Amino acid sequence: MERIYLDHAATTPVDPRVVEAMLPYFTANFGNPSSIYQEGRAAKKAIEESREKVAEILGAADTREIIFTGSGSEADNLAITGVAWAYRKKGNHIITSAIEHPAVLETCKELEKHGFAVTYLPVDEYGLVAPEAVRDAITDRTILVSLMHANNEVGTIQPIAEISKIVRAKGVLLHTDAVQTAGSIPLQADELGVDLLSLSAHKFYGPKGVGVLYAKKGTRLHRLIHGGAQEGRLRAGTENVAGIVGLAKALELAAAGLEETVPRLAELRDYFINKIFSRIDHVKLNGHPTRRLPGNINVSFEFVEGESILLNLDLEGIAASSGSACTSGALEPSHVLLAMGLPHETAHGSVRFTIGKDNTKEQLDYVLGVLEETIARLRAISPLYREQRGRKEK
């Protein structure tokens, strides 16, 4: 059976052109970039060329603003913990939102154990943070605001540029987790007005195990990993040369393709959402109707539970994800959906489809058919659906 992969927000397949660019750095050009002889110099050159490429695409003023990390999560950790300890004398207050990725939320929770105070801003029903709420939360002890560019679950895109004006006017640093937006929508650190920005290669057809933290010149960071002078002394450890080359190549390809992919994915997304609503009743779209990542569809099917939907889709060759507790490995459903005000049972019934560049309309039509059958089948055995119908008939 042909598999239909609709979970591109989780990870993406590596583009063959990226693989090709990476391969020599596993074998022929295996040198350690810190070595002074030819093999080392070649590896070092590959890293610095990649850094230049990334700096240019992200609108960085200086290549030293690009720090390669081992993942998007590590970039988030370095941004938040790094700023917290470097600016500890200035203040101890950090502002973030209730819907951040765990890499941000749990880093903040950890800092709270060490004397930092964190404000978790609420979001509205669409997952948006109000810029005024950011302004009101800033105190003279605030050192950092960390807000994600777009949410990984519901795809809501935050007004970062607008928030930046407020944050900068108060002399506070701004970090954005752009893991979901890099390669999906145009992304320029200078236009967004951020001081720190995280991204991860495997979200845009690059390899796993490599990310970037952009840190604007003059932003001080306390390093997390000790033991070497790599990455401007901010991240010890022999560089993942092939990974870094792959990241730069993938970002270059993504940036070059944006003009074509953004409108195409948005069209497929809207087609899919409209079809779901016309074919299945008791459905709710989670996230913002328009301020939304081009490939993101997040819907709740009432009276059924997300994991059972995913199992059924998987049996029919379809890969998607859910915000139900069962799929998070926790007892609670998605913290993002709960923060947006969804009742628990509706959050349990959420399914996220994230479309990628290789998906077609024909695939989506097949998925719609399977989805319609799946929801009908699961509702037929759901006591909640029976009760709902009973109420209607009365």
Which residues are identified as catalytic?
A: 326
Residues 351-380 that bind other proteins (CB under 8 A): 380
Among 119, 152, 164, 312, binds other proteins (CB under 8 A): 312
Quick check: 87 binds other proteins (CB under 8 A)? no
Please say which residue, 144 or 304, places its beta carbon nearer to other proteins: 304
CA distance 213 to 69: 7
Span of 138-146, 156-164, 186-194, 342-350 interacting with other proteins by CB under 8 A: 342-350
Q: How far apart are the first and last CA of the chain?
A: 45
133: left (phi over 0), alpha (psi -120 to 50) or beta: alpha
Nearest distance, CB of residue 342 and other proteins, angstroms? 12
What would the x/- binding string for other proteins be over residues 5 to 44, using CB under 8 A? ----------------------------------------
Span of 45-53, 76-84, 310-318, 358-366 interacting with other proteins by CB under 8 A: 310-318
Quick check: 153 binds other proteins (CB under 8 A)? no
Quick check: 383 binds other proteins (CB under 8 A)? yes
- Contacts of 232 by beta carbon, 8 Å cutoff, 6+ apart: 64, 67
CA distance 353 to 153: 9
Dihedral over Cα of 226, 228, 234, 238: its sign: negative
Please say which residue, 212 or 340, places its beta carbon nearer to other proteins: 340
Span of 119-127, 146-154, 341-349, 364-372 interacting with other proteins by CB under 8 A: 341-349
Q: What is the DSSP letter of 290?
A: S
Pairing type for strands 93-97 and 142-146 reads parallel
Among 219, 286, 308, 359, binds other proteins (CB under 8 A): 308
What tokens were used for 291?
A: 């301020």
Among 138, 154, 163, 304, binds other proteins (CB under 8 A): 304
Residues 321 and 355: beta-carbon distance below 8 Å: no
Nearest distance, CB of residue 229 and other proteins, angstroms? 43
Closest listed residue to residue 358, CA positions, set 19, 18, 17, 5: 5
CA distance 81 to 84: 5
Nearest distance, CB of residue 377 and other proteins, angstroms? 9
Please say which residue, 186 or 343, places its beta carbon nearer to other proteins: 343
CA distance 22 to 250: 10
Quick check: 207 binds other proteins (CB under 8 A)? no
Closest listed residue to residue 216, CA positions, set 175, 163, 157: 175
How many other CB atoms are found less than 10 A from the CB of residue 67?
25
Among 303, 339, 342, 359, binds other proteins (CB under 8 A): 303
> Under rule CB under 8 A, how many of the chain's residues touch other proteins?
26
Nearest distance, CB of residue 222 and other proteins, angstroms? 36
Q: Which residues bind other proteins (CB under 8 A)?
A: 303-308, 311-312, 315, 324-326, 329, 331, 333, 343-345, 348, 380-386
